[in-house]
Amino acid sequence: MHIPFLDIEKITQKYQPHLSEAIVATINSGWYLNGKNVKEFENSFAQYIGTSYCISVGNGLDALTLALTAMKQLENWNDGDEVIVPAFTFIATAEAVNRSGLTPIFIDIDNNFTLDLRNCEQLITSKTRAIIPVHLYGKPCNMRILKKIANDYGLKILEDAAQAHGAQFENKRIGSWGDAAAFSFYPGKNLGALGDGGAVTTNNEKLAKHIQILANYGAENKYYHTYQGCNSRLDEIQAAVLSIKLTQLDYDNKRRQEIAQIYATHINNTAAGNIPYTRDTTQSVFHIYPFMSPTREKLQSYLARHDIETLIHYPLALHKQIVYNKSYGYLSFPYAERAAKEELSLPISPVMTNDEALYITEIINKFIP
Ligand SMILES: *Cc1c(COP(=O)(O)O)cnc(C)c1O
């Protein structure tokens, strides 16, 4: 039985013929940008997340960058001011800080793969302005503790929610906890478009308006430019696709949790590695199922021989990347480095069957290092 890491075609098929119909309707409407599909999606996504505003943009990196740049301008931060970012995440999180003219300050992760809250306060200086929690793999960072730290020190929180669409912390959606949150709708995400897309959610009207202006060439009114902006927008076709897929997001996430529950219940070969978190799988929306294996390379090729495709998220922590190594390479983040060495992403998706997941657990349980 061949099991792909993620069968995006099958996911798309699940929404047919509705996607094709919506795309054709958009084609025939003759209106492709800044139209009613985008408005409609922004409204339903804001309502789903539980914020007053959703500003759609071109991709997740833009969402992060525009939110940070808007905060910087509204709060009069200086160039080079500091933003705390986990050392283990997709590079976009840190890249957005640099693109905004700010300085990333890396922090280790903990057992949950989210930033180590016990180490946070000691990194705060007179130049610290914000913290970016990444809800990595779909597991929320403890926003209660983080918010207390941010309040105590007067820092902003920008959530990187690019892997956590629909996740909740204490019954409140991720994306509604921080001062703002950035989402990506890259096709492989829990809520994915058929191309690029992104959004910022926030309850702050001023911030929402400023992000909108920056994303539209810095223009408050058409052809009158107040700020140095950029062009970043979601198009009408992607917005229509996302509105359709949003209606099934909770159901899709529940399927991911059921697959994760099968892994957590049935994998019992500690020589192969360890399941993540506790056995309670309701705490994450499992964008990724991070199996931790001390013999990762062997396990990965063993699974490949059994036609089971796995990936590694991510093979190198940020402070060790060539682009950051010169400034940060001397630092040591044991959990980040261990995750880079041991993490193996098992197949997980809303279109996987229980039988496929059970088959994978059987094969893993027979692994001899
Ligand atoms: C996917 C992702 C992004 C960036 O999203 P793009 O749409 O690809 O720009 C940012 N942060 C994290 C954690 C991501 O996984």
Over residues 165-179, the mean pLDDT reads 97
Whether 282 contacts 260, CB under 8 Å: no
- Rounded to whole angstroms, the Cα distance separating 218 from 17 reads 39
Tens of pLDDT, residues 335-368:
999 999 999 999 999 999 999 999 999 999 999 9
Domain layout of the chain by residue ranges: 8-246, 249-365
CATH number of 8-246: 3.40.640.10
Over residues 311-318, the mean pLDDT reads 98
Tell me the Cα Rg of the chain.
21
Q: Is 46 helix (H, G, I), strand (E, B) or coil?
A: helix
Pocket of ligand 1 (CB under 6 A): 59-61, 89-90, 92-93, 134, 160, 162-163, 184, 186, 196, 198
Q: What is the pLDDT, as a whole number, of residue 97?
A: 98
Judge: domain 249-365, CATH 3.90.1150.10. yes
- Rounded to whole angstroms, the Cα distance separating 219 from 225 reads 4
On average, the pLDDT of the chain sits at 97
185: closest CA among 36, 41, 15? 41
- Ligand 1 nearest-atom number relative to CA 186: 7
Q: Which of 163, 183, 234, 311 most suits a substitution to test ligand 1, by most atoms within 8 Å of the C-beta?
A: 163
**pTM greater than 0.75 (yes/no):** yes
Q: State the DSSP H helix or E strand holding residue 169, giving kind and residue range, or none if neither.
A: strand 168-169
Residue 308 has pLDDT above 80, yes or no: yes
What distance lies between CA 325 and its chain's CA centroid? 24
Place 1 in a pLDDT band, splitting at 50, 70 and 90: confident
C-alpha 268 – ligand 1 centre gap (Å): 32
Tens of pLDDT, residues 105-126:
999 999 999 999 999 999 999 9
Query: Which stretches of the chain are DSSP H helices?
Result: 8-14, 18-29, 36-49, 60-74, 92-99, 143-153, 205-215, 236-246, 249-266, 296-305, 322-328, 334-342, 354-365
